[in-house]
Amino acid sequence: MRLQVNTMLALYSVIEFAADPQRHIPAAEIAEKYGISPHHLAKVLAELTHAGIVESARGVGGGYRFAANVRRLTLMDVIQLFEDFAPPAAQRRDARVATAVDLALDAVLSEVDEIAKATFNSITLATMLQLIDRQKADPGA
């Protein structure tokens, strides 16, 4: 499964905020760290704010802060804000009647999607932060 650019930006951002939940982090700091457009990131942060995952702070310094529970929020909670998980049949672009080949391919693609969703659903931000720590301690693990 390939995630869209906005989804990846959201994941990078949420991980940054969750790693330091007390700190208000300016959007520009995240944009610079990951080499991304601040304008593009602003749209992603607006969506995360709307979903209650982060909250924005006004005034001097400003920025955003993590507003969710690291032990409850899963990767899926973030990803589903930006990805369309419609079944393969609904994503078919042409209007022709599905053939047996289409239906068989749909069954295989659905299987892949279901496994991906189960994986994203089972990984909380707390688990993700542990994984990152393990990578820091043992790159390539």
Partner 1 sequence: MRSVRRADLDAVVALDAAVTGLEKRAYWQRVYRRYGVAGTAEQRHFLVALAGGRVVGFMIGEVRDWEFGSPPCGWVFALDVHPQARQAGIGTQLLAALSERFRQAGVTKLRTLLARDNTLILSFFRSQGMMAGPLIPLEMDLPQGVAHSAAVEPTR
List of residues contacting partner 1 (CB under 8 A): 74, 114-115, 118-119, 121-124, 126-127, 130, 134
CB of 123 to partner 1, least distance (A): 5
Q: Smaller CB distance to partner 1: residue 45 or 74?
A: 74
User: Please, which residue, 65 or 117, has the CB nearer to partner 1?
Assistant: 117
Nearer to partner 1, 13 or 124 (CB): 124
Q: Give the shortest CB-40-to-partner 1 separation in angstroms.
A: 30
In the complex, least distance from residue 81 CB atom to partner 1, rounded to whole angstroms: 18
SS (H, E, C) the chain: CCCCHHHHHHHHHHHHHHHCCCCCECHHHHHHHHCCCHHHHHHHHHHHHHCCCEEECCCCCCCEEECCCCCCCEHHHHHCCCCCCCCHHHHCCCCCCCCHHHHHHHHHHHHHHHHHHHHHHHCEHHHHHHHHHHHHHCCCC
